[in-house]
Amino acid sequence: MSHPNSLYNKLSQFQLTPVRKHQMKKIIALLLFTAGVSPSLQATTYPVNNVTALKTAIASAVAGDVIVVDGGEYLFTARLDIKNKNGTAAKNIQLIANPSSATRPRFNFSAQAEASANQGILLENCSYWLIKGIDVYKAGDNGMQIKNSSNNIVEFCTFSECSDTGLQLDNGSANNLILNCDSYYNADSSLENADGFASKLNVGSGNTFKGCRAWQNLDDGWDGYLKETDNVNTFYENCWAFNNGKLKTGATSGGDGNGFKSGGSDGKDLKHNASYKNCIAAGNVKKGFDHNSNRGEVTLLNCAAYANTQSNMGFGNTNPLAKLTIKNTLVLGATGDTNAGTKDISNNSWNSTPAITVSNADFGSVDISELGQPRKADGSLPDVNFLRPKAGSALIDRGVNVGLTYYGTAPDIGAFEYNPALPLNLLSFTLSSPNQNAVKLTWLTANEVNTGKFEIYRRQESGSFKLIYTVAATNKTGIQEYSFTDYNYENGTSYYLLKQIDLDGTVTLTETRAIKLGLNRGQQLLLYPNPAQNFIAIDFGTYAIRELQIFDTEGRLLSKDISKDQLFKKDVSALPSGLYILKIKTEATTSQHRFVKE
């Protein structure tokens, strides 16, 4: 009998639609199986440009398949059901916007009546789906309901003007990631229920919202109200809730109008544990962060609240939380209530020691409208000056290390770090320890003008930064390389700062660099070959890599990868010949390395 792949390849001789081709593949697979041959079905890509083709592709898709939706308007008269379809961790099922289209696909459900069964998209009993780049508009209920489904990703989608919550997770849905999505202008006719996002009712644990925004939703930005389930965990990272409790027109809606409603229940006894990191609540009609009779545990790390009308913090003493942790968090204005059975509240703008005074002058902007700026092309949040500390702000370096990224000698207070960029002529600053017996610091400059000197500062895991080295600048054109070897390190993690001092007295600091010493050989980073032609390989030993970035010498980000493999191989064949900077972040260190592409 012919090899299965040769039979599959023969299908290309016929003018078959992708759906029919996939059906034929399944028939061939069945025939081969009955003949004792174990075939391997190849993934299918379904190009879609109309509603009928979309529904057919969804019905036919299996693990590994990709449904690519052209840009344009898709008019639906009924709910779009995705049911009982599972990918795998290795091969998900993708429903994605065509990246080559000039416009995004908009799924228009305006023909639906307002009714509890009229969601736009229903994802039910499904796992390992990626839904990306879709705009969901005017559904008769939720824009998207994720029901009894787990390990899915919804990325770079929008949900607007729906008659209930834009995106809702319930019925046991767990471990889903909602990434870089927006939900706005959602409102129901009863002026009661439409939130931006919700992880609520009988939802499962482990759902994460990351890089999402909710604004001008009739009710809350996020709602965690529970029924029929208890002691669940939901995570929020870099999420912004602003101007909720208002209609599209800007008028007050009559809904609750909280930014982040962490929980609550009819019996005021259920626990919805919520973790907020780098989240912002601003301009909401009622409370910024609200416990709403939630009896669980809530944590706020490096969050910010401003101009929420009723209160910025709404953690009351009636039916209080079991535990409330707040650290490195900014409130501009009156703080509000921070009650709980157990509290761990420190290093915030209102209770820092020594005390600090915060005003509008500390920030690049206090204009809430900046939070609604367009996203970047990759879907990530826009860069804004809103509540970002300016140079000289008392908030800089006044926090405590809670495990989040920071750039100075300590974390800043608030959702954003003051990030002093490298001076225009400072190309890189790297640490290395080839023999584990010293730390070598190397930095590159280009076309120095009026640069006076460089200073190196070091601190250990505890203690403050101390000056350990000074060198005069060369003030020459072209690329200059400086280095210093520190033999006086201590085992453990050492932190280094490079200070550039210009002749006119201008001072610029790099972000903190860290390196961990006193380790065995298996915990060293290796980069090879260097110079490189087609690839570079990074051996991380026992480190777990978090992020790898490549920059050109002008500081432009060229690529970003994430991997947890011990040996990571990066294709650099397309890079022009020249010098590049490789920035590596692991769980123990952040370092920069130079490599040459031949």
Catalytically active residues are 261
CA–CA dist 480, 485 (Å, integer): 17
Mention every residue, 6+ apart, whose C-beta is less than 8 A from residue 13. Answer: none
Residue 167 class from Cβ within 10 Å (0-12 exposed, 13-18 middle, 19+ buried)? buried
- Those residues with Cβ within 8 angstroms of residue 114's Cβ, 6 or more apart along the chain or in another chain: 140, 141, 163, 188, 189
Question: Does residue 125 sit in helix, strand or coil?
Answer: coil
- Count the Cβ atoms, other than its own, within 10 Å of residue 102: 8
- Judge whether 529 and 536 are in contact, CB under 8 Å: yes
| Strand pairing class (557-561; 590-597) | unpaired
What residues contact residue 354 under an 8 Å CB cut-off, 6+ apart? none
Burial 195-224 (b: 16+ CB within 10 A, else e): bbbbbbbbbbbbbbbbbbbbbbbbbbbbbb
Structure tokens at 338: 């921070």
From CA 470, how far away is CA 482, in angstroms rounded? 11
| DSSP letter for each residue of 218-260 | SS-SEE--BSS--SEEEEEES-EEESTTB-TTS-B-SS---SE
Take residue 440 and report the two structure tokens written for it.
């070598």
Taking each continuous run of H as one helix and of E as one strand, the counts in the chain are 3, 47
Helix extents (H) in 473-552: none
The full 3-state SS of 11-56, as one line of letters, equals: HHHCCCCHHHHHHHHHHHHHHHHHCCCCCCCCCCEEEECCHHHHHH
Q: Which residues pair with 80 in a beta bridge?
A: 121
d(CA 475, CA 448): 5
Taking the C-alpha atoms of residue 282 and residue 308, their distance in angstroms, rounded to an integer, is 6
Task: Classify burial at 319, counting beta carbons within 10 Å of its beta carbon; exposed 0-12, middle 13-18, buried 19 or more.
Answer: middle
Nearest to 181 by CA among 207, 219, 218: 207
Identity of residue 42: Q
Cα–Cα dist 395/25, whole Å: 62
Taking the C-alpha atoms of residue 418 and residue 440, their distance in angstroms, rounded to an integer, is 27
